[in-house]
Amino acid sequence: NAGVTQTPKFRVLKTGQSMTLLCAQDMNHEYMYWYRQDPGMGLRLIHYSVGEGTTAKGEVPDGYNVSRLKKQNFLLGLESAAPSQTSVYFCASTDPNTGELFFGEGSRLTVL
Amino acid sequence: AQKITQTQPGMFVQEKEAVTLDCTYDTSDPSYGLFWYKQPSSGEMIFLIYQGSYDQQNATEGRYSLNFQKARKSANLVISASQLGDSAMYFCAMRGASQGAQKLVFGQGTRLTINP
């Protein structure tokens, strides 16, 4: 009964380093999303995917790349981390029948 | 473009009182859905309630109800008989038919504190 799982939960990076956040869902959902949450700004959509092999830009895509090689996995990459990317990142997937969004537990990223 | 506005950055309420969290939205879509999520201090996002734009009645889920006023484009969350465990961040969100991919747009959030 895992739902949506994100790894890692916490990470500290130095400016310029790269990293990948992994999102895995076991609900066979087609649609998956990456959001970032910053104080006073709610959640903003970074990238999303409507199915295996597809990705699209959201509201704040700059500085991030994504891949959806397998239906159950959605990866978010930072090629050269910047302090402005310090945030909490949420992965989510959508149940096509109800439209309900299922969230992962979040990943807190700090870029020094 | 779709937009959600939550004008209350923070609210303080006495335990057992009812509380209303405001949410207004802007969309040109004739069909849309409105959501409320709760985020406790532990950080996870918890789905609370959903209202479809064509639903005739206001949505209710236990102590949560959604006061949907379509003409005013508002979708306020009402929590009856508040409890200490209701202290959390609350987000209003919207999905419009034109958005595609069932994407949600979120408001800035309201931090609710329940005082004993």
Q: pLDDT tens digits for A81-98?
A: 999 999 999 999 998 777
Interface residue B107 vs chain A (CB under 8 A):
yes
pLDDT class of B103 with cuts at 50, 70, 90:
confident
The mean pLDDT of chain B is 94
Q: Do B47 and A33 touch (CB under 8 A)?
A: no
Mean pLDDT along residues A48-77: 96
pLDDT class of A101 with cuts at 50, 70, 90:
confident
Q: Do A103 and B106 touch (CB under 8 A)?
A: no
The mean pLDDT of chain A is 94
Which chain B residue lies closest to A30 (C-alpha atoms)?
A: B101
pLDDT class of B101 with cuts at 50, 70, 90:
confident
The predicted pLDDT at position B66 comes to 97
Picking from A11, A9, A89, A17, the residue whose alpha carbon sits closest to that of residue A46 is A89
Mean pLDDT along residues A69-74: 96
Interface residue A100 vs chain B (CB under 8 A):
yes
Q: Do A88 and B43 touch (CB under 8 A)?
A: yes
The predicted pLDDT at position A2 comes to 73
The predicted pLDDT at position A1 comes to 62
Quick one: A53 exposed, middle or buried, by C-beta within 10 A (0-12, 13-18, 19+)?
exposed
Q: What are the structure tokens assigned to A29, written together?
A: 């959902």
Which chain B residue lies closest to A95 (C-alpha atoms)?
A: B102
Instruction: Flag whether pLDDT at A68 surpasses 70.
Output: yes
Please report residues of B whose CB lies closer than 8 A to that of A43: 91, 93, 104, 106
SS3 B112: strand
Distance CA A76, CA B43 (A): 19
Please report residues of B whose CB lies closer than 8 A to that of A44: 106
Distance CA A15, CA A109 (A): 12
Instruction: Flag whether pLDDT at B107 surpasses 70.
Output: yes
Mean pLDDT along residues B48-63: 94
pLDDT class of B102 with cuts at 50, 70, 90:
confident
Interface residue B1 vs chain A (CB under 8 A):
no
